[in-house]
A and B are shown apart, each in its own frame.
Chain A
């Protein structure tokens, strides 16, 4: 891969939170990239570092206590880690937009939707009030909100949850950003609305050709939108590959666990969901070896002693697991979700 053509390239990123108890290594040594027009999914359970990763990219980590300890974030030819805050504000909202998990609390309750949308355009594109209103109206229409003109004058509490998330999406896209980061955009919504929002994002990705990083803990959500998936666990990337790679030939026991815990409509009614037992590692004292050792059915002695290296199964499909070492015993995962 020619590095110059990646839109965003994160290299060996580590972000920690310095608390009274000590350093919490929320993200350690994460590397990934995303190309223009591509959609990338980041999956993993709560606390695995997926939100911290993208918030590091946006430089939105609350600091103190949070800090990017090491690594590079290359975006449009600049290293965002080293960029002064003032310049960072010219990238946020303009070249990079973000949507958050809870649309009920992510909009300012005392400002009208129109005000919250137009301020982005006034800031980044220097539009006048009327021009900005016109553009905002156009974008609200694009995300499927009826009566846009009237809606612009309303306050967030006059919108439903799904409608607010549509507003958030429209607001993040106002300046046609190169990259849209969606941090669990459907988690707080009910299922039918989830489907609508995902459909909308898919549609918009085509229309304005923006790259999307979609964060979720729901593997079902990623498949429809993304072409590549990153699986994170305990602040590290354990497996990454195309949707095909991850769904058809997952290699990491944690990915197996995730896939087995996704409910499927086409499954037999008696098929039980299999949870992953145990809890994620304490990132205040990260384990020496692989973070998943304690919960892994296939763990070996070496897993607890040394961190696994990265094995490339085929171009683009990378796994960090000792089971792929040539000397390891054979463990596989079949399509019906059984581990043999």
Chain B
């Protein structure tokens, strides 16, 4: 296990480095720069700014300098938010993004699993049809449509929840719903089908023959087996929560990292683009590692070893 973890962490660092390198050069390949705008600055001032931010240095030098900086967790200054560093933006935005992501994750896992179990236990009855219908909608409606829909009808029209903004717990409700609709739907479908499969297994019959009550059979014997396919979905799930977050934060005007990420690209705010990309890449790699570890917790037949083919 320790050997496996070591290997995984080394390869994770390699992945992050690749992401850094690719993003860095791609970013500089886009025409325009952080300070080019409709209002043309006098060349002398332009020269000054470029000098100040080392934008005139050869690209290779800029790249090496950047690597040196991020090795010390210094992501540089921002070009557009005066007097603030990328680290400041992280400190400000990350807690909000994490709060939203966490609520959406809990909603998706709890809601999706519960709906899936109910649908499977009441197969071909009303609860099953309702759950399957909701899941089909959740899978097919894109998050920006749902976000706008919720914002307008549930937020603006009925005033049940604030349609925009940040600060109180109730501000989280609509964005979290919009963000978790798709994963709830996927987890419902996965749980339902694997639950139906598991309930027909021989070991469920054994559990019944032991005289165990229904809820123990479902929760202890069936659910853990049914969750194995759900764990597989957790990798893409976290990727979805991270990227879906950009749109949802934008629609609901939440000052999280996702917002900075989207605006920074239009602004060519090089350090912010780099910083947010590295942050998301690192989060994704970490979650994937956690998912692989979660496998061993759910299914004892899976063992993580550092050896190939083991």
Contacts and interface: CB of A to CB of B under 8 A. Distances in A.
Interface of A: 58, 60, 88-94, 97-98, 100, 102, 105-112, 119-120, 123-124, 155, 157, 168, 171-172
A123 B216 CA distance: 10
B225 interface: yes
A119 B210 contact: yes
B212 A106 contact: no
A155 B206 CA distance: 16
A94 B206 contact: no
Contacts of B207: 108
12 contacts: A58-B209, A93-B210, A94-B211, A105-B202, A106-B206, A107-B203, A109-B203, A109-B301, A110-B299, A110-B300, A119-B216, A123-B216
B201 interface: yes
B220 A111 contact: yes
Given A108-B221, A109-B225, A90 B211 contact: yes
Contact of A98 (B201, B209, B221): B209
B224 interface: yes
B211 A89 contact: yes
B31 interface: no
B83 interface: no
B210 A120 contact: yes
Contacts of A105: 201-203
A152 B202 CA distance: 21
Chain B interface bracket (under 10, 10 to 19, 20 to 34, 35 or more): 20 to 34
The 7 closest A-B pairs by CB, nearest first: A93-B211, A92-B211, A93-B210, A105-B202, A98-B209, A108-B203, A89-B211
Interface of B: 201-203, 205-213, 216, 220-221, 224-225, 298-301
Contact of A119 (B202, B212, B224): B212
Contacts of A92: 208-211
Contacts of B224: 110-111
Nearest to B209: A98
B202 A155 contact: no
A60 B205 CA distance: 7
Contacts of A97: 209
Contacts of B211: 88-94, 120, 123-124
A123 B210 contact: yes
B124 to A, nearest CB: 10
A307 B212 CA distance: 41
Contacts of B301: 109, 155, 157
Contacts of A58: 209
Contacts of A124: 211
Contacts of B221: 108, 111
A108 B300 CA distance: 11
Given A60-B208, A171-B210, 20 more contacts: A88-B211, A92-B210, A92-B211, A100-B205, A102-B202, A105-B202, A105-B203, A106-B202, A106-B203, A106-B205, A106-B206, A108-B221, A109-B203, A112-B300, A120-B211, A123-B210, A123-B213, A123-B216, A155-B300, A157-B300
